[in-house]
Amino acid sequence: MAIKKVLRYGEKSLREPSKEVHKVSRKITDLVNDLLDTMYSQNGVGLAAPQIGVNYRVFVIDVSTGNEPLNPIVFINPKIIKKSGAIISNEGCLSFPEAYTDVRRYKNVMVKAQDANGRTFTLEAKDGCLLARAIQHEFDHLDGILFIDHCINRFETENVLKKFNLPELEPERLIAEPELEKELND
């Protein structure tokens, strides 16, 4: 298919909620292929449709490493149906080149979605593994939420954004996560 331009932090569509996919049509299949091509070309772990300027509820993830064969997972209309535990994760994003910061995430998640053929599946990711964190990260993109909205240290995150010439943090978008905070402090 095609390698698309990944939108950078500051682009308006990264903050817009995405629309449900009503039918896994050729258009959606092409979108999935573009997402995979683009993600692999950038050495990414995941990529959501809004990151290439298409606001549909679609994202792709591949957590294979090293010599492992590629193992792409396609998520269409995903819903996180169960979440528990808490971890601190150091995350980055293809829309924030080279910028990383610590964020709060659930340790375990269960997601229900459709695959590239429109078949429904359920997937569980546990123990704060890369897949569990990536699912949450990409899922957030579908609601216009970015990883920096979950940051642990606002001032450290602001310094990281400044260092890489990215727009400032939007304090009003920071997410209060008392249940995760409590779990992390116990």
Task: For residue 6, tell me if it sits in a domain.
Answer: no
pLDDT, one tens digit per residue, over 2-42 is 999 999 999 999 999 999 999 999 999 999 999 999 999 99
Task: For residue 5, tell me if it sits in a domain.
Answer: no
Please say if 138 is a catalytic residue.
Answer: yes
Q: Which of 16, 91, 138, 177 is catalytic?
A: 138
**pLDDT higher for 185 or 169?**
169
Task: For residue 109, tell me if it sits in a domain.
Answer: yes
Domains contained in the chain, number: 1
CATH of the domain at 161: 3.90.45.10
Q: Residue 37 sits in which domain range?
A: 12-185
Q: Is 136 exposed, middle or buried (0-12, 13-18, 19+ CB in 10 A)?
A: buried
Closest to 160 measured CA to CA, from 102, 72, 106, 99:
99
- Cβ atoms of 81 and 110 closer than 8 Å: yes
Task: For residue 2, tell me if it sits in a domain.
Answer: no
Task: For residue 62, tell me if it sits in a domain.
Answer: yes
State pTM to two decimals: 0.95
